[in-house]
Amino acid sequence: MKYEAFVFDAYGTLFDVHSVGRAIHDFFPDKGKQISQEWRSSQIHYFMVRQLADSYIPFDIITRWALKDALLKSDVKFGDDIISALMAQYEKLIPYEEVHSLKEKYPDLPFTIFSNGTKSMLEPLLQNNKLSDSFSLLSADDPKVYKPHPHAYQYAAEQAGADKEEVLFFSSNPWDVAGASLYGFHTAWVNRHNLPWPRLGVEPDYTINNLNSIPGEKL
């Protein structure tokens, strides 16, 4: 199968969202992992609720809400200075080790990031990691609809200038892979932790452990 567009989720797929745990640990020793996991869990839960309620709120606001609630649940004391410092860390998330070499390996493939994150979050993230030239950037904040709603993937296909059957979509998040598959994208689940695929009534076209190679493409 020849694909015309290669579209990547950002958080958890290209960038390790739990790398923020190091900064959390600096403020709250021994609670970095706990707070990071609660932050991510709440972040996903909150945007899903807003999507189901058809009441869009930008992802940076969702992320800030989720952080505050994660800190409250962890019973730590914090102020606006800590919130601002940890939110700033989302612009400095660490990419997985193979991400920097991806474009070098496949210089002729059109790589696009499509994320629920706002461009105000994503553009500094790419700049800080010297990846701005490797990916074009699409945000769900433009159509004001979150993945995994089909309208989000439709927007990505239109912006990529490809029919949905010509798109190969990569994500580490099963809910994202399922949504993209149900919309009609070909999908690759980046299963970095060798987890079982959940029973969602749909399967990814490919399951890979990392992004060292692109399915169907020769090095």
The DSSP letter of residue 37 is H
Q: Give the tokens for residue 69.
A: 């609630």
Given a contact cutoff of 8 angstroms between Cβ atoms, the answer to whether 59 and 141 are in contact is: yes
Pairing label, strands 94-95, 15-16: antiparallel
Q: Which residues contact 216 (CB under 8 A, 6 or more apart)?
A: 1, 2, 3, 168
Spatial neighbors of 126 by CB under 8 A, at least 6 apart, are 113, 132, 134, 135, 137
Cα–Cα distance between 20 and 22 in angstroms, integer?
A: 5
133 has catalytic annotation: no
Cβ-based neighbours of 125, under 8 Å, separated by 6 or more: 10, 15, 90, 91, 92, 93, 117
Query: Known catalytic residues?
Result: 9
